[in-house]
Amino acid sequence: MSPLLKGHGLALVRGGRMLFEGLDLELEAGDALHISGPNGSGKSSLIRLVAGLLRPAAGRIERAEAALADNLLALDRELTLSRALAFWKGPRLGDAMRAFALEDLAHLPVRLLSTGQAKRAQLARVMASGAPLWLLDEPQNGLDRKGLAELDEAIAAHRAQGGAVLAASHTPLAGQWRIMELEA
Ligand SMILES: Nc1ncnc2c1ncn2[C@@H]1O[C@H](COP(=O)(O)OP(=O)(O)OP(=O)(O)O)[C@@H](O)[C@H]1O
């Protein structure tokens, strides 16, 4: 079976600085890779590179369909949550709204969501997409204890169903993760 993500010899320059070079990545079905490292080391940049939003200075990336949750919500603030999520036409919208306990918020405009509610909505968008590769930048930010448990459960279920996860985070994530530490 071919990997869901394969990056070879990746180098990335931002703001005139080489953030990393010679970086190899491989994720197969069920895998999870936790990118850690100090502020400014390039964790978010690596996630955006894999998403295709940045170009590598060197190296190659091949990957399956991916869904990204980064610092942009990517939901229309003026629509109700259910309509904003439906815009993405994900095959698993109902499951995702239940997984992140969003049913009671479905009729609220996105702009009224709290920080943690918005994070849950963003993670639900990723889950609803049905994409096999999840790219998560600081997925725990803003989540309360229940939200953290929902996230852990969603990731475990995604992996069990043959998905893979690449996550940047300052805090440990539940379950078995490979860890890649970027240097300052
Ligand atoms: N749009 C940009 N243009 C130029 N440089 C940028 C841009 N965005 C980020 N950088 C620089 O790239 C470097 C890596 O930033 P990045 O956000 O990837 O780090 P990070 O490891 O995710 O940090 P943190 O732990 O603070 O979230 C930093 O030096 C940052 O200043």
CA of 51 to the centre of ligand 1 (A): 16
What is the distance of C-alpha 62 from the center of its chain? 17
Please check whether residue 1 is in contact with residue 29, taking contact to mean a CB–CB distance below 8 angstroms: yes
Mutate to test the pocket of ligand 1, among 12, 14, 39, 183 (most ligand atoms within 8 A of CB): 14
Residue 2 has pLDDT above 90, yes or no: no
pLDDT at 184: 85
Q: Which atom of ligand 1 is nearest to the CA of 42?
A: 18
Whether ligand 1 lies within 6 angstroms of the CB of 43 is answered as yes
Burial code (b: 16+ CB inside 10 Å, e: under 16) for 22-46 equals ebebebebebbbbbbbeeebbbbbb
Mutate to test the pocket of ligand 1, among 20, 23, 45, 183 (most ligand atoms within 8 A of CB): 45
CA of 44 to the centre of ligand 1 (A): 7
Mean pLDDT of 67-86: 95
With bands split at pLDDT 50, 70 and 90, how would you rate the model's confidence at 121? very high
For residue 96, what are the CA distances in angstroms to 43, 56, 58?
26, 32, 36
Whether ligand 1 lies within 6 angstroms of the CB of 71 is answered as no
With bands split at pLDDT 50, 70 and 90, how would you rate the model's confidence at 166? very high
pTM of the predicted structure, to 2 decimals? 0.96
Mean pLDDT of 83-95: 91
Residue 132 has pLDDT above 80, yes or no: yes
pLDDT tens, 7-22?
999 999 999 999 999 9
Residue 1 has pLDDT above 80, yes or no: no
pLDDT tens, 26-38?
999 999 999 999 9
Provide the CATH topology of domain 1-184: Rossmann fold (3.40.50)
With bands split at pLDDT 50, 70 and 90, how would you rate the model's confidence at 67? very high
Whether ligand 1 lies within 6 angstroms of the CB of 54 is answered as no
